Amino acid sequence: MEDEHCVDEYAFSPPFFATEDSHEISSSMQQYLESIFSDECMEFPQLVDHEVQENYSKEDFQMDFDEFDHVIFKDDADHDRAMDVCHASMDSASMQIPSLLEGMEVDSELCLLHLLVAYAEAIDNQETLLSRVIVEHIIKKVNPVGGIVERILYYMFRHLDNESDYLIKESMRNFYAAFKAFYQIFPHGKFTHFVANSAIIENMPSDVDIIHVLDFDIGEGIQISSFLEEIKQYRCKEVTVTSVRFGEDCELFTHSIWNFEETKIRICDHARSCGIDMKVEEVGFMDLECKMKNIEKECCGRKSWYVFNCMVGLPHMGRIKSKKCVFEFLKVAENFLQNVTNCDTKFNKGIITYGDGETCHSNMTTCGDYTTFLDSNVTRFRAFLESMEFSFPYHLGEARVALESLFAEPYFSSITLEQKWEENRQYGGDQQVGLLGVEGFMKWSEKCILEAIEMVNQGDSNGPYGVRFVSEKKNEMVMDWRGTPLVRVCCWKR
């Protein structure tokens, strides 16, 4: 199955907005998207011709290697120390930069990568002052309209440069238009939502009376709305959705502006248009187990089916949740499905769907130092920005900058990376997700697999995107860019 349906690479170059014949977004989902967005904000900010060029001159984009030490390091007190570390890092094997440098000329971007290695090693060695010096000089040489490495480092350290606040402010003014464009152009969200919803539909008992969806992060409600479209042809016409609310300590970073009450209204309106009786409510995580027990009692004698849905770190979400909260939610879901007794659907009590947009190479879960951890993340960031460039014509560069500011920076920020590194050390990375004791969802249908492949490759099997399985049980599907994982979906049923 894996070899037969694996697509290593694919081409994806859709129109700026989905057309009437588009495979990805149905007409009813277009209506739901329109209900989210205001037509007042459909223009992207003109950043390059005005603000960016005012702040960055031509000289900022270039580097003279003959005068490398004088151009980059001007602080005599730190010059010798920082340069020693930088040159030593060029021979370091602890960060696998050759994969990042394939096809790259020896230029300022290569130098920036060496500085990044030096920065990571300074963090590992707890040399705080040295890491700050390196970052200060990186900031002077990066900008949001440079090459991919420059942009990665710009977004990593932008929060330390007060002069760059204008970029995020201008981008936020166009958030609705940017969100709509990002979701429709790039396959990250559509792929993850489609695969998760397909797993739910394919495992849902045909005789179920009521479906209970417990959602980790309901956000803008797009996944729930697309799920409603799929089930409107089924016998079950009653759905309850419980959105879980976590404390502020669960939110590591957010550009999200979604309001639960507004999302609730939109979802309920969409449910009525699908002929589905729907109830949406919100509950704090501390009250979740009590809430589920009440649901079980209230539905006594009815054929109930439970869906625990957890989407985290998908780029269009623009927010990052603590992995601790993710693990706690999945553990509650596992315990409930193992112990629920009021269910007439025999052994098929429910399903857990997990979509992750922060997936990295497998070494991320076992890396022992920050240098290796950063290497894995930078590899993924590079793949992400390459995929964005692939789908954008040159004349839409300003729009791409706006999308990157909103949907890339939250994940690239050094603040986020440091928090994720700390979580990685505390909770052992993502391997805990694979340790759920519920029965694994063994495989998706042929139809689901083919549609997922078509969704990302647009019929071209020789392009840069790919769809593949990574687990022996076939319950984990990954979308990658030239072999680098971008998003993954895992499913378990009970």
Q: pLDDT by residue (tens digit) across 145-154? A: 889 999 999 9
Q: Which domain, by its residues, includes 377?
A: 47-174+365-421
Same domain (yes/no): 257, 332: yes
Confidence (pLDDT) at 97: 38
Confidence of residue 16 (pLDDT cuts 50, 70, 90): very low
pLDDT-derived band at 344 (thresholds 50, 70, 90) equals low
If asked whether residues 267 and 163 sit together in one domain, one would say no
Residues 64 and 155 in one domain: yes
Mean pLDDT, residues 251-276 taken together: 87
Same domain, 127 and 267: no
Other C-beta atoms lying within 10 Å of the C-beta of residue 284: 12
Residues 300 and 447 in one domain: yes
Is residue 96 over pLDDT 70? no
More confident residue, 252 or 271: 271
Please report, for residues 216, 241, 261, the alpha-carbon distance to residue 282 in angstroms, rounded to integers and kept in the order given. 10, 8, 9
124 in a structural domain? yes
**What is the chain's mean pLDDT, rounded?**
77
How many domains does the chain divide into?
2
Q: Residue 135 in 3-state DSSP?
A: helix
DSSP sequence for 319-374:
EEE-HHHHHHHHHHHHHHHHH----SSTT--EEEEEEES----GGGGT--SHHHHH
Tokens of 71: 């151009």
Give the Cα separation of 54 and 460 in Å (integer): 41
Query: What digits encode the pLDDT tens for the residues 373-398?
Result: 999 999 999 999 999 988 887 788 88
The single residue listed with the structure tokens 């209900």 is: 35
Q: Which of 421, 442, 462 is the last residue before a domain boundary?
A: 421
The amino acid occupying position 40 is E
Q: Which residue has the tokens 């680098």?
A: 484
Mean pLDDT, rounded, for 331-341: 85
Q: Report yes or no: 125 and 96 within 8 Å, Cβ to Cβ.
A: no
pLDDT above 60 for 55: no
Average of per-residue pLDDT across 210-214: 95
The pLDDT of residue 37 is above 80:
no
The Cα-based distances of 1 to 6, 105, 442, 449 in angstroms read: 8, 40, 11, 10
Report pLDDT for 44.
Answer: 38
Same domain, 391 and 311: no
What CATH number does the domain containing 337 carry? 3.40.50.11100
Among 421, 439, 460, the domain-final residue is: 421
pTM of the predicted model as reported, rounded to 2 decimal places? 0.79
Dihedral sign for Cα 16, 17, 21, 24, please.
Answer: positive
Q: Give which of 467, 397, 380 is closest to 156, Cα–Cα.
A: 380
